[in-house]
Structure 1
Amino acid sequence: MTLRLAVRGGLNQIGATLRETTFGRYVAGNAISLVGNWMQRTAVGWLAWDLTGSVAWLGIVAFSDLFPTLIMGPIGGVLADRHDRVRQIFACQTALLLVAVALWLLTAADMVGIAGLLAITTLHGLIVGLNQPARLALVPSLVAPDRLRTAIAINSIVFNTARFIGPAVAGLLIATAGLDWTFFANALSYLPFLVALTTLRPIGEQRSKSRASFIGQLAEGLRFVAAEPSMRLLFALVIAAALLLRPLGELLPALADGVFARGATGLATLSAALGAGAVAGGIVMAMRREALGVDGMTAWFGALAVLLLLLSAAPAFWTALPLVGACGFCLIASGVAAQTLMQERSPPDLRGRVMSLFGITFRAGPAVGALILGFLADLIGLRPALALGALTFVAAALALRHHATRTPSGP
């Protein structure tokens, strides 16, 4: 009975937040757009694998898409704190729509090679770097203050769930319709979000009142993160996980085809398992009433590391499948916990800059990790590379937590 009441209360809380008209429209459009974005990333990875057959090239392509966030993310964060976040998002989404159309046309005409693919993915990464901080920082201004935590959780769930639903849909489209139609579907996914953005009316003041220069405002965000011991620990753990655990999604094509020889159908199946686990994890996290602190987030990361160790030793495809699903659950649970902590611990006038740093870790981190693990996999195999990444994270997390407990002002 207690469990039933808790579930009912959690669902009511989610429903009430989504019924706030402005936020509900934003979530609906954003969800479709994000699913399309992850569809494109999966299709790009498969195209790179099809063109080269190299795990290292998978890492290079992921790197070219995500690493530009390091350059443009902080700039996008300052812009998000200084200017209209809705207009910033609209401009970036329009540019991303044009990139998707270009990919569709080039693929349909069979005119894209690995060099052209790298150029397009780099451009995509630069635009996303400007876009992501505004998207993350906008959410608190779309709901009443008493619904902020639930809204943050819902937005985190949408982002992380799309990360796995998109690849699952892409895998099915690649296997049945082809890469060009997958890119076309992504282009269409931008339209509902663009329409939704034209109707948004954010609540409250969004812009920074700082009179510092552009560079000065950028430095303000960095100083805030560096000066807070709890934020330092939070960022260190998130960076370690992004580098060593989260590249699983980028390396799924190699796992499906290179390890288990299952081709595009295997990729679709593994992606679906990852997505199903993510949806389950998102529902569980959304229904939580109590806050999940750094210790809770670390526990989810630790569970993910253990699952990756088991996955690296999986003897057969059907043994790996439930492990991949469980990884999806832990990935979204840890992602929700991390983003919620970042949003809640950031002052409103610094939120764009702080979330730009968070976006860097969650986008560029897996890119760097996929690059490193990809080259390592070409040398020693994907299984040992995954195991080494998981063990390295466990060692890093233990060291960070030990250091934090010895710091009087730590969390």
Structure 2
Amino acid sequence: MSEVDTTHTDRRTGAMFAALRVRNYRLFASGQVVSLVGTWMQRVAQDWLVLELSGGSPVALGVAAALQFGPTLLLSLWGGAIADRYDKRRLLMGLQVGMGACALVLGVLDVGGLVTLTQVYVLCVLLGCISALDGPVRQSFAGEMVGSGALANAVALNSMTFNTARVVGPAIAGLLVAAVGTGWVFLLNAVTFVAVLTGLALMRPAEMFVYARAPRERGAVLSGLREVRRHPDVVLLLVIVFFVSTLGINFFVTLAIVARNVFGRGAESYGLLTSALAVGCLLGAFHAARRVGRPRLRTVLLAAAVFGVCEAAAGLMPSYLGVALLLIPTGAAQLLFTSAANAAIQLGVDESVRGRVMGLWMLVLLGGTPVGGPALGWLAEEFGGRAPLVLGGVASVLAAVIAGLWVVWRRTRTTAAAVPV
């Protein structure tokens, strides 16, 4: 390798880990990876518990997903306004305690043999309310830890942390569910919140890149929406994220159905499918972390199209192994899509409204789950467990193509208007 190539590689490697040079971010990421392993363990165990309590009903699984993500529709924009107004680090500490308490209660009920499907549904709603507030706070907190210069890298590394946990968590959960049952998985998840709370407590507030706090005012949410409307590319990104997430990315809620109902396998196999998807996401995160600057719109659209093709192909695979292998490129494309869209949106608006814009991001990313979750569950029940993957993939490709055609039409019209007659 030449000296020029070596220097280029060193620069790319340095760019990949730029955010990790910041002490506060290192503390945050290390605490998050432990806590997120527990979160993914709980997600797998909760899906399996719902299937056991409901006699294997795909609709019940979709209802649980809708109840957990439904509060995002009502609370994420408000959570974004809170994030712009108050200390994000302190907000996150309180929210993590709340999520840990939900896991503790569910674990105690399950281990004690007292758990019912109704109780699981209630705790899904409570956890969903807390998560709806946590999302925009946590997303916008990245900029305060590392500043705008390393924000795109921090977003990619957050995804890398998330998906590292997504690889490890489901695999561990599958083994633990088979060995000791779902209840102990919930209790272990409650303990993992200590790691993220410790990381947040050890941060140095003086080293934060704190932007001016938004004043307490009426219409704070509307002012954030007006800021978004000023940027057509940001609006387009949010629209395509909504459709791809609702119809495409939500397929993960039916992976338990694929493992159990399509291939007749147990919790371990469900955990491995989720881990295969996460391996792909992790690979995608490594690629995303190498990019510097604001991602381009065409990168987001191309990633959405590739994701759709891979997802549909996975749904058509005749064997369990074929599905698992195709979930790897599906996860990689999914991560590239969401990571690029997230960074482009955050860097496309003013820092003073970033919390509110991230509230809108959480709304479009997860807000469709209350509709998409039950709908995909119904599709799986009526047309088989493969249907959600095939339909979601086709819908994602169509969304990317339509968005691309709209961009070409808009730019052509703008060019034509600029040419004198």
Shorter-chain TM-score: what band? over 0.9
Query: Does structure 2 retain, via aligned residues, the 8 Å contact 1:10–1:286?
Result: no
Q: Are residue 281 (structure 1) and residue 284 (structure 2) matched?
A: yes
- Correspondences of 1:372-391 after superposition (within 5 Å): 372-391=375-394
Which amino acid in structure 1 is aligned with residue 31 of structure 2? G
Q: Name 2:106's counterpart in structure 1.
A: 103
Q: Name 2:57's counterpart in structure 1.
A: 54
- Correspondences of 1:320-399 after superposition (within 5 Å): 320-399=323-402
Which amino acid in structure 2 is aligned with residue 169 of structure 1? I
Q: Name 1:69's counterpart in structure 2.
A: 72
Query: Does structure 2 retain, via aligned residues, the 8 Å contact 1:376–1:385?
Result: yes
Q: Name 2:130's counterpart in structure 1.
A: 127
Which amino acid in structure 1 is aligned with residue 111 of structure 2? A
* C-alpha distance in 2 between matches for 1:303 and 1:8: 29
Structure 2 gaps of 5+ residues are 415-421
Query: Does structure 2 retain, via aligned residues, the 8 Å contact 1:73–1:132?
Result: yes
* C-alpha distance in 1 between matches for 2:149 and 2:40: 31
Query: Does structure 1 retain, via aligned residues, the 8 Å contact 2:244–2:399?
Result: no
CA deviation profile, 1:324-362 (whole Å, cap 9, x unmatched): 122121222212112111221121110000001111222
Match of 1:184 among 178, 183, 187: 187
Deviation at 1:313, TM superposition (A): 1.3
Q: Name 1:230's counterpart in structure 2.
A: 233
Query: Does structure 2 retain, via aligned residues, the 8 Å contact 1:161–1:332?
Result: no
* C-alpha distance in 2 between matches for 1:128 and 1:101: 16
Q: Are residue 295 (structure 1) and residue 304 (structure 2) matched?
A: no
Q: Name 2:217's counterpart in structure 1.
A: 212
* C-alpha distance in 2 between matches for 1:290 and 1:204: 18
CA deviation profile, 1:275-320 (whole Å, cap 9, x unmatched): 2222222112212346431211111111111112211211111111
Deviation at 1:240, TM superposition (A): 0.9
What percentage of aligned pairs have identical amino acids? 30
Structure 1 counterpart SS, 2:368: helix
Query: Does structure 2 retain, via aligned residues, the 8 Å contact 1:156–1:335?
Result: no
Q: Name 2:254's counterpart in structure 1.
A: 251
User: Number of paired residues?
Assistant: 408
CA deviation profile, 1:60-89 (whole Å, cap 9, x unmatched): 101111111111111111111011111111
Q: Compared with structure 1, are the counterparts of its residues 288 and 145 closer, same or farther at alpha carbon in structure 2 (3 Å cutoff)?
A: closer
Deviation at 1:121, TM superposition (A): 0.5
Larger radius of gyration: 2
Q: Compared with structure 1, are the counterparts of its residues 252 and 261 closer, same or farther at alpha carbon in structure 2 (3 Å cutoff)?
A: same
Q: Name 1:11's counterpart in structure 2.
A: 13
* C-alpha distance in 2 between matches for 1:35 and 1:29: 10
Q: Compared with structure 1, are the counterparts of its residues 241 and 5 closer, same or farther at alpha carbon in structure 2 (3 Å cutoff)?
A: farther
Query: Does structure 1 retain, via aligned residues, the 8 Å contact 2:18–2:153?
Result: no
Structure 2 counterpart SS, 1:111: coil
Deviation at 1:18, TM superposition (A): 0.9
Query: Does structure 2 retain, via aligned residues, the 8 Å contact 1:208–1:350?
Result: no
Structure 2 counterpart SS, 1:142: helix
Q: Compared with structure 1, are the counterparts of its residues 298 and 20 closer, same or farther at alpha carbon in structure 2 (3 Å cutoff)?
A: same
Structure 1 gaps of 5+ residues are none
Structure 1 counterpart SS, 2:325: helix
Which amino acid in structure 2 is aligned with residue 74 of structure 1? L
**Aligned-residue CA RMSD (Å):** 2.1
CA deviation profile, 1:184-207 (whole Å, cap 9, x unmatched): 121111001111111221524334
Deviation at 1:39, TM superposition (A): 2.0
* C-alpha distance in 2 between matches for 1:109 and 1:221: 46
Structure 2 counterpart SS, 1:382: coil
Mean Cα deviation higher: 335-344 or 204-213: 204-213
Query: Does structure 2 retain, via aligned residues, the 8 Å contact 1:73–1:129?
Result: yes
Deviation at 1:366, TM superposition (A): 3.7
Q: Compared with structure 1, are the counterparts of its residues 209 and 15 closer, same or farther at alpha carbon in structure 2 (3 Å cutoff)?
A: closer
Query: Does structure 2 retain, via aligned residues, the 8 Å contact 1:152–1:343?
Result: no
Structure 1 counterpart SS, 2:146: coil
Query: Does structure 2 retain, via aligned residues, the 8 Å contact 1:69–1:126?
Result: yes
Mean Cα deviation higher: 7-16 or 41-50: 7-16
Which amino acid in structure 1 is aligned with residue 134 of structure 2? N
Deviation at 1:132, TM superposition (A): 1.3
Which amino acid in structure 2 is aligned with residue 357 of structure 1? L
Deviation at 1:211, TM superposition (A): 5.5
Query: Does structure 2 retain, via aligned residues, the 8 Å contact 1:161–1:279?
Result: yes
* C-alpha distance in 2 between matches for 1:321 and 1:158: 21
* C-alpha distance in 1 between matches for 2:39 and 2:58: 22
Deviation at 1:144, TM superposition (A): 4.5
- TM (norm. structure 1) is 0.93
Query: Does structure 2 retain, via aligned residues, the 8 Å contact 1:168–1:275?
Result: no
Query: Does structure 2 retain, via aligned residues, the 8 Å contact 1:84–1:207?
Result: no
